[in-house]
């Protein structure tokens, strides 16, 4: 595998899922795969889970890890081709990525959507430019459009508890927030769920917050906070900013999920974290037996390890 950017980079999802499960059972199963090799983790945005789970995964494969927080510790980066660099940016991405490509055998990059220009975000230019200039296998640590490590961990969490004798009913349900958040997590979640023939995916969001059809085609769309809540096996709660007008915050409190809205349904509740309590999800759900958010976070280790192991294959 040359990159782990989207679901399309995975030839056989079931095999990847089995690999993640094998690492969960025996974390050092492939210790030595990374011996003598270096993983560079490059962050343009904050992270807790992605940063640490990927480092644990790397350690289990005997990879050395370098972490670079570009915005705090690096030079300000210019990305435009042909730019006259007489402003604030001290280094071009060509050099920064080119140097990192010489220091590392595999590179991971986190670069969120800017939420100003939908087409620019959809092009995911920073990830692809960085990959081209670095010339090394690339791990997507959350780009403008996708967060595949989160999605693989979410898929593993769902499959662990899924009914075996019928389709798995999954609801991706929008929630309010106080800030404008990217669409990478819901895009990616939908992409991975729709690739699983065992899943029936529903997406519920207010008007104007529909995900791009590239990600949602094949899902059943709803526009009510109550839709499918009592029928779903898994409810994945997540805020994302508007599609029209692009990047606008959505904060309607009617969409905050509470125990009462579930009306006794046995649905499992999922969230990628970080979560704003009592804005996105009520305390009683996060603190109750339905919640899978910590399991998802733990599964991030095994997802990262499976992805890294594939990137390390010659």
* Residues linked to residue 169 through DSSP beta bridges, in sequence order: 200
Question: Cα dist. 273→151, 199, 239, 281 in Å?
Answer: 12, 23, 11, 11
Kindly tell me which of 190 and 227 has the beta carbon lying closer to ligand CP: 190
- Cβ 37 to ligand CP shortest distance, Å: 23
Give the whole-angstrom CA distance, residue 232 versus residue 170: 6
Interaction pattern, residues 137-176, with ligand CP; x per rule: CB under 6 A:
-----x-------x--------------------------
- Cβ 47 to ligand CP shortest distance, Å: 3
Question: Cα dist. 236→118, 152, 179, 282, 283 in Å?
Answer: 24, 14, 19, 14, 16
Kindly tell me which of 52 and 99 has the beta carbon lying closer to ligand CP: 52
44-52, 77-85, 195-203, 207-215 -> range binding ligand CP (CB under 6 A): 44-52
Inter-residue contact 217 to 146 (CB < 8 Å): no
Inter-residue contact 242 to 213 (CB < 8 Å): no
Kindly tell me which of 99 and 273 has the beta carbon lying closer to ligand CP: 273
- Cβ 199 to ligand CP shortest distance, Å: 20
- Cβ 56 to ligand CP shortest distance, Å: 13
Kindly tell me which of 78 and 142 has the beta carbon lying closer to ligand CP: 142
Give the whole-angstrom CA distance, residue 31 versus residue 27: 8
Interaction pattern, residues 89-128, with ligand CP; x per rule: CB under 6 A:
----------------------------------------
Q: Which of 133, 152, 127 is nearest to 44 (CA)?
A: 127
Interaction pattern, residues 257-286, with ligand CP; x per rule: CB under 6 A:
---------------xxx------------
- Cβ 154 to ligand CP shortest distance, Å: 10
Give the interface size with ligand CP as a residue count (CB under 6 A). 9
Kindly tell me which of 157 and 261 has the beta carbon lying closer to ligand CP: 157
Question: CA 219, 272, 281, 289 torsion: positive or negative?
Answer: positive
Q: Is 198 in the site for ligand CP (CB under 6 A)?
A: no
Kindly tell me which of 50 and 205 has the beta carbon lying closer to ligand CP: 50
Dig out the tokens for 195 from the structure. 């690739």
Q: Which 3-state string (H, E, C) describes 221-271?
A: EECCCCCCCCCCCEEEEECCCCCCCCCCCCCCHHHCECHHHHCCCCCEEEC
Q: Please name the helix (run of DSSP H) or strand (run of DSSP E) that holds residue 161, with its range, or none.
A: helix 148-161
For the chain, give percent helix, strand, coil, nearest 5: 40, 20, 45
- List binders of ligand CP among 47-76 (CB under 6 A): 47-50
Point out which residues bind ligand CP (CB under 6 A). Answer: 47-50, 142, 150, 272-274
């Amino acid at each position: 595998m040359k990159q782990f950017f989207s679901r399309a980079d995975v030839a056989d999802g079931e095999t990847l899922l089995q690999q993640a499960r094998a690492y969960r059972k025996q974390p050092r199963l492939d210790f030595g795969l990374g011996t003598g090799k270096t993983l560079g983790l490059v962050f343009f945005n904050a992270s807790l889970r992605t940063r640490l789970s990927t480092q644990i995964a790397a350690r289990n494969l005997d990879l050395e890890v370098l972490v670079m927080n570009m915005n705090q510790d690096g030079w300000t980066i210019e990305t435009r081709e042909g730019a006259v660099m007489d402003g604030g940016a001290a280094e071009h991405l060509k050099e920064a990525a080119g140097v990192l490509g010489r220091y590392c055998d595999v590179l991971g990059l986190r670069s969120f959507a800017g939420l100003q220009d939908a087409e620019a975000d959809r092009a995911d230019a920073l990830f692809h430019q960085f990959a081209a200039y670095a010339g090394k296998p690339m791990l997507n640590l959350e780009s403008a459009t996708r967060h595949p490590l989160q999605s693989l961990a979410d898929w593993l969490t769902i499959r662990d508890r899924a009914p075996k004798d019928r389709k798995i009913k999954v609801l991706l349900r929008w929630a309010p927030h106080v800030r404008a958040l990217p669409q990478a997590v819901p895009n990616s979640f939908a992409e991975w769920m729709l690739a699983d023939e065992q899943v029936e995916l529903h997406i519920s969001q207010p008007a104007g917050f529909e995900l791009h059809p590239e990600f949602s085609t094949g899902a059943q769309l709803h526009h009510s906070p109550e839709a499918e809540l009592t029928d779903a096996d898994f409810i994945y709660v997540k805020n994302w900013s508007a599609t029209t007008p692009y990047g606008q915050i959505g904060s309607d409190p009617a969409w905050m999920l509470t125990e009462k809205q579930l009306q006794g349904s046995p649905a499992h509740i999922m969230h990628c974290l970080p979560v704003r309590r009592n804005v996105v999800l009520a305390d009683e759900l996060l603190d109750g037996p339905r919640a899978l958010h910590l399991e998802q976070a733990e599964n991030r280790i095994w997802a990262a390890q499976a992805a890294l192991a594939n990137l390390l294959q010659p």
